[in-house]
Amino acid sequence: MSATHPSTRPAARRVRRRLEPKVRVHRAVNRWLGPLWVWGVLIALVVIAIYTVPQFATLDNYKNILKQAVPLALVAIGQCGVIILGGIDLSVAAVMSLGDTLSMGIMNGGSGSILFAIVAPLGLGLLIGAANGAVVAKTAAPAFIVTLGAASIVQGVVFWYTHSAPYGAPALSFGELGFKEYGPLPALVVLFIPILALALIVQNRTRAGRHAYAVGDDDQVAARAGVNVTRVKVATYALCGFFAALAGIAVATRTGSGEPLAGTGFDWDSISAVVIGGAILVGGRGTIGGTMAGVLIITLIENAMTLKDVSPFWQSTVKGVIVLIAVIIAAMTAKETLGRLLRWRPMDAFRPRVAARPSATGEGGAA
Amino acid sequence: MILQVKDITKRFGVVRALEGVSLDVGRGEVHALVGENGAGKSTLTRIIGGAERADAGDISFEGSSQALSSPAAALAAGISIVYQHLNLSDELTVAGNLYLGREPRRALRGGVDDKAMRRAVTAWLDRLGAEFPADELVGRLSPSDRQLAEIARGLSHDPKLLIMDEPTASLAPVAAERVFAVLRELTAAGLAVIYITHELAHVFDLADRVTVLKDGRNALSAPIAEVDRGGLIEAMVGRAVEELFPPRTQQPDRAAAPALELRDLTLPGYFESVSFSIAPGEVVGLGGLVGSGRSRVARAIFGDPPERAADPLRGTVLVDGESFRPRGPRSAVKRGIGFVPEDRKAAGLVLGATVADNIALPQLERLASFGVLRRGAERAVAERETEALRIKTPGVDAEVGNLSGGNQQKVVLAKWLARGCRVLILDEPTPGVDVGAKAEIYLLVRKLADEGTAVLLISSDLPELLGLSDRVLVMSRGRIVAELEAEAATEESVMKAAFDGMETAPGLESAA
Ligand SMILES: Nc1ncnc2c1ncn2[C@@H]1O[C@H](COP(=O)(O)OP(=O)(O)OP(=O)(O)O)[C@@H](O)[C@H]1O
Ligand SMILES: [Mg+2]
């Protein structure tokens, strides 16, 4: 339906109604997987580790990495949502400890209350997250401070509950979960896959996902379009709390009892994973796919360094350096400088150019 | 009457934005709302649309006053607003933006029905003559296309009342015509429109009634047949503006060494072999259709980087006879090049900073001693400029983000006018600026030229292009296709050159 008006449109031409297939594929890949260069970095790290770390390239170690990655992946999914909103959740570590100790405390070695031992921490995580979200949405208080406060409160409760010592014990069948394998994969990984699929669908295919990006990009724009900004924020933080509690339960399958500091470090690691995966902290950008690459990168580095007997102190330093590099790269891509280098295709110099097609309405192809 | 607004009052601190304003709009009516920058037009719009609450007064829509408590409620009641400052999310596609907050779900599988969204949006884009696809990211559209997307969004809500706040400010003229045609069809079917603009020609083109606001009060309300241009301007400005354009007092000395010279400047894919020179004191207009590459040339001279590193800039830029390699805004500013970009929000203003800070920004070194900013000097410069351009602000300490749209534009101009420069590039300097202020701006540009500045003026506003320039170049498809002396140039000759260029210019458009 390209109506031509000879008087105003001298050059009759077909108007493009869809993006070029190439661009479309590129965007879809980016939405579901995140920036490909992050996966490239992961592959490069694997190759380096294979050649430099002696016991790295064994089937058991791969399984181990995947298994270790699951708790961080869970926390990072929730964190990713919050960061897309332009927020941040520093309470995930404490909520994770809560999930771990509470489920172990309720179970306490018996199998009678497994269901309750799972549902109660999850519900509590959801509530804590919702409270975070409500305060952030309804007051001008920065998410950073609000969730830091929540972290402190929750961790205090955990210490009180556990008397600052390992607490409770898993039911037998539950404890086995951390070591069982379904086919070639650890049970935890198999259980994680549908959760990841669901999260990806929510990100890409639902209104909730769209709204999170819109709110993160500019919440006033979203509000004027009729999006219930408060609801989006509360729901996203609530899910983040939920995932943190779930991660705590996942960790519990692998430890003999509830650890009051089970979540320590997961706040920083989850934020790092999300940022390595291409998100920006001002919001509006980020993907769960990229976050998963970030999670694997962090886990792999930890694993390789442990195999190499690097002291935990240096591990922390190395992780810090890597995150800083990622943040700088992300900032540069946002500014298009590095983006241009990465998208640079030398062959373009030899191709005929598609010009800035002068149009009556705008810079269409050129912009 | 579909909308009745009675005695609305609204204050922001000491600023009285609206004082007892009334406005009635009937079904099928296009009601033009005009007034100086800062008169209160956008504030009234936001109140009607539920985005802001009035301090006093009543609004009734279709006989009920329930609808106006929030943007969502106003939308549900059938009031849709095309805001002055674009309200689209850069990270979503055009379709995603148009249906934000009301995405259709897929019947069986759940999730967002992107296909249905795209179909509906494409229909609107077709109708408006837009040439970008519905699945493009809004962040990648040109200002003109964004505006069109915004208009498409307003219409796609299927409203009973459509409020458009300067919808054509950054829209190419041809696209504007198309929008008007669609509006006429829809009003014939009963849509009511409140149309805010500074382009009086559009008022007479489109409106059935016109209301003038002055300093937050009703100054005039009449059927369009009962007013003329002069009367309208007088009601807006409070005085008659006879001569919009200042006379050309001095002939620029074209024999002298040019202040700015371009030799075969080429940015592959955008423009090719662009050569021209501007003498000191000369105003050269760059005409052509939106997308013909004009803004690209301007940005290239200023050193704004192109999007793709694979596109090297070729050719030479000479400033005062010395070769100048555009490396970035910093080096350009150092070399005496000033630039008022088309996309003022992105490149022109720090919205969270004060008026004084913004105006002082390009000349901080000059206003500082030993690296410490002299506040007094900064304020003095800012005060002089706000005075000269009649920027309506409670003071130079006010945040720029709180100024009315037109006044923000004036601050962008003040930044460069205050600094003074060798070469001044103006890319669409006056959209959203009221008539009175336009006259002031033209006067200032002319004065700068008379003092020896070379001015490159890009404008889609043909009267402005012809009225201010000493010489007009026309670009089409990335090439300069015509050069016209000011005396000889007419609106027709410029448009003709632009369109002829599209048919005959070789090269830049490939097989696509
Ligand atoms: N949020 C705010 N805080 C403080 N002052 C404001 C705010 N919003 C508007 N104002 C002031 O209210 C007055 C009216 O502004 P408004 O934006 O309604 O003008 P306008 O008629 O739309 O002008 P323009 O033609 O320039 O868009 C201006 O003086 C402006 O500075
Ligand atoms: Mg306005």
Each residue's pLDDT tens digit, B410-427: 888 888 777 778 899 999
Average pLDDT of span B253-281 = 87
- Three-state secondary structure readout of A148-180: HHHHHHHHHHHHHHHCCCCECCCCHHHHHCCCC
Closest-lying ligand 1 atom to the alpha carbon of residue B10:
12
From chain A, the residues in CB contact with B291 under 8 A are 356-359, 361-364, 366
Question: B39 in ligand 1 pocket by Cβ < 6 Å?
Answer: yes
pLDDT of residue B500: 79
Of the candidates B299, B305, B373, B306, which has an alpha carbon nearest to the alpha carbon of residue B337?
Answer: B299
pLDDT of residue A334: 54
- Under the banding of pLDDT at 50, 70 and 90, the label for residue A361 is very low
Rounded to an integer, the average pLDDT of A326-338 is: 61
| All residues at 6 or more sequence positions from B53 whose CB lies less than 8 Å from its CB, including other chains | B47
Give the ligand with the smallest distance to the CA of B33. Answer: 1
pLDDT band at B208 (very low <50, low <70, confident <90, very high): very high
Q: What is the pLDDT of residues A221-272, one digit of tens each?
A: 888 888 899 999 999 999 999 999 999 999 998 887 889 999 999 999 999 9
Per-residue pLDDT, B84: 77
- Tell me which residue in B131, B310, B508 faces A355 most closely, judged by beta carbons: B508
CA dihedral sign of residues A72, A73, A78, A83: positive
Q: In the predicted model, what is the mean pLDDT of residues A64-86? A: 96
Q: Could you tell me whether strands B423-427 and B337-340 are parallel, antiparallel, or unpaired per DSSP bridges?
A: parallel
Q: B25: Cβ–Cβ under 8 A, 6 or more apart, which residues?
A: B1, B2, B3, B31, B161, B192, B194
Coil, strand or helix at B322: strand
Residues of A in contact with B112 (CB under 8 A): 205-207, 210
DSSP-derived 3-state class of residue A129: helix
Position A124 scores a pLDDT of 97
Instruction: Tokens for A283, please give them.
Output: 């919001």
Q: Mean pLDDT across the stretch B492-501? A: 83
Position B65 pLDDT exceeds 70: yes
Instruction: Please determine, for residue A330, whether its predicted confidence score (pLDDT) is greater than 70.
Output: no
| A313-333 mean pLDDT | 79
CA nearest neighbour of A220 among B165, B83, B8, B157: B83
The whole-model pTM stands at 0.79
* B84 within ligand 1 shell (Cβ under 6 A): yes
The pLDDT value recorded for residue A9 is 41
- Tell me how far apart the alpha carbons of residues B482 and B474 are, in angstroms, rounded to a whole number: 5
CA B230 to ligand 1 center in whole angstroms: 25
Q: Where are the domains of chain B?
A: 3-237, 260-336+421-504, 351-412
Q: How many angstroms separate the alpha carbon of residue B280 from the centre of ligand 1?
A: 38
Residue B368 has pLDDT above 80, yes or no: no
Q: Which residues of A296-319 are buried (b: 16+ CB within 10 A; e: fewer)?
A: bbbbbbbbbbeeeeeeeeebeeeb
* Fold designation for B260-336+421-504: Rossmann fold (3.40.50)
Q: Is A12 on the interface with B (CB under 8 A)?
A: no
**Could you report the per-residue pLDDT of B446-486, keeping only the tens digit for each?**
888 888 899 999 998 888 999 999 999 999 888 899 999 88
* CA Rg value for chain B: 23
For A362, the closest of B76, B90, B145 (CB atoms) is: B145
First-to-last C-alpha distance (Å) of chain A? 23
Kindly state the DSSP code that residue B203 receives in the 8-state scheme: H
| Confidence band for A51, pLDDT divided at 50, 70 and 90 | very high
Report the pLDDT value the prediction gives residue A294, as an integer from 0 to 100.
Answer: 94
Which residues of chain A have a CB within 8 Å of the CB of B290?
359-363
CATH architecture of B3-237: 3-Layer(aba) Sandwich (3.40)
Is the Cβ of A226 closer than 8 Å to some Cβ of chain B? yes
The whole-angstrom distance between B310's CA and the closest CA on chain A is: 6
Q: Which of A215, A224, A351 to mutate to test the interface with B (most CBs of B within 10 A)?
A: A224
Indicate the fold that domain A25-336 takes in CATH.
Answer: ABC transporter involved in vitamin B12 uptake, BtuC (1.10.3470)
Return d(Cα A303, Cα A308) in angstroms, integer: 9
- d(CA A358, CA B323) in angstroms, rounded, equals 30
**Rounded (10°) CA dihedral A345, A347, A351, A354:** 0
Residue type, A362: G
pLDDT score, position A336? 46
Across A360-364, B143-147, B303-307, B361-365, least confident range: A360-364
Structure tokens at A80: 């990713």
Question: A99-108, A335-344, B17-26, B397-406 — which is least confidently predicted?
Answer: A335-344
8 Å CB contact of B290 and A359: yes
Cα distance between residue B392 and residue B404, in whole Å: 8
In angstroms, the separation between the Cα of residue B472 and the nearest Cα of chain A is 19
- Half-sphere exposure of B426 toward its Cβ, with a 13 Å CA cutoff? 36
Mean pLDDT of chain B: 86
Q: A328 falls in which pLDDT band (50, 70, 90)?
A: confident
Ligand nearest to the CA of B43: 1
Sequence spans of domains, chain A: 25-336
pLDDT reported for residue B40: 92
CB of B211 closer than 6 angstroms to any ligand 1 atom: no
For the beta carbon of residue A88, count every other beta carbon within 10 angstroms.
23
Residue B306: per-residue pLDDT: 57
Q: Determine the atom of ligand 1 nearest the C-alpha atom of B45.
A: 18
Q: Is the pLDDT reported for residue A181 higher than 50?
A: yes
- Best residue among B8, B37, B43, B433 to mutate for probing ligand 1's pocket (most ligand atoms within 8 Å of CB) is B43
Answer yes or no: is the C-beta of B40 below 6 A from any ligand 1 atom.
Answer: yes
pLDDT of residue B173: 78
Q: Which of B91, B144, B310 sits opposite A217 (nearest CB)?
A: B91
Confidence check: pLDDT of A342 > 60: no
Alpha-carbon distance of B510 to B507, in angstroms, equals 7
Please tell me the predicted confidence (pLDDT) of residue B401: 84
- Residue B338: burial class (beta carbons within 10 Å; 0-12, 13-18, 19+): buried
Q: Flag whether residue A357 sits within 8 Å of chain B, measured between CB atoms.
A: yes
Instruction: Give the least confident one: A270-279, B127-136, B369-378.
Output: B369-378
B9 touches A: beta carbon within 8 Å: no
Q: Kindly state the average pLDDT of the residues B170-177.
A: 82
Q: Give residue B310's pLDDT band: very low, low, confident or very high (50, 70, 90).
A: low
Is B310 within 8 Å of chain A by CB?
A: yes
Domains B3-237 and B260-336+421-504 share a fold: yes
Question: Does residue A1 have a pLDDT over 90?
Answer: no
How deeply is B5 buried, as exposed, middle or buried, from its count of CB atoms within 10 A (0-12, 13-18, 19+)? buried
pLDDT band at B314 (very low <50, low <70, confident <90, very high): confident
Banded pLDDT at B66 (limits 50, 70, 90): low
HEC string of A8-59 equals CCCCCCCCCCCCCHHHHHHHHHHHHHCCHHHHHHHHHHHHHHHHHCCCCCCH
- Window 13-52 of B: residues touching A by CB (8 A cutoff) are 49, 51
Which residues, numbered 260 to 299 in chain B, qualify as contacts with chain A under a Cβ-Cβ cut-off of 8 Å?
268-271, 288-293, 295-296
- To test the ligand 1 pocket, which listed residue (B8, B9, B11, B15) has its Cβ within 8 A of the most ligand atoms? B15
- CB spacing of B308 vs A364 below 8 angstroms: no
Contact yes or no for B223/B208 (Cβ under 8 A): yes
Mean pLDDT of A1-18: 49
B161 against B295, higher pLDDT: B161
Q: Do A217 and B290 touch (CB under 8 A)?
A: no
Which pLDDT belongs to residue A350?
41
Q: For position B48, what pLDDT does the model report? A: 93
C-alpha to C-alpha distance for B394 and B377, rounded to whole angstroms? 19
CA distance A185 to A188: 8
In sequence order, the β-bridge partners of residue A221 are none
Which chain A residue has the Cα nearest residue B110? A206
pLDDT the model gives residue B489: 85
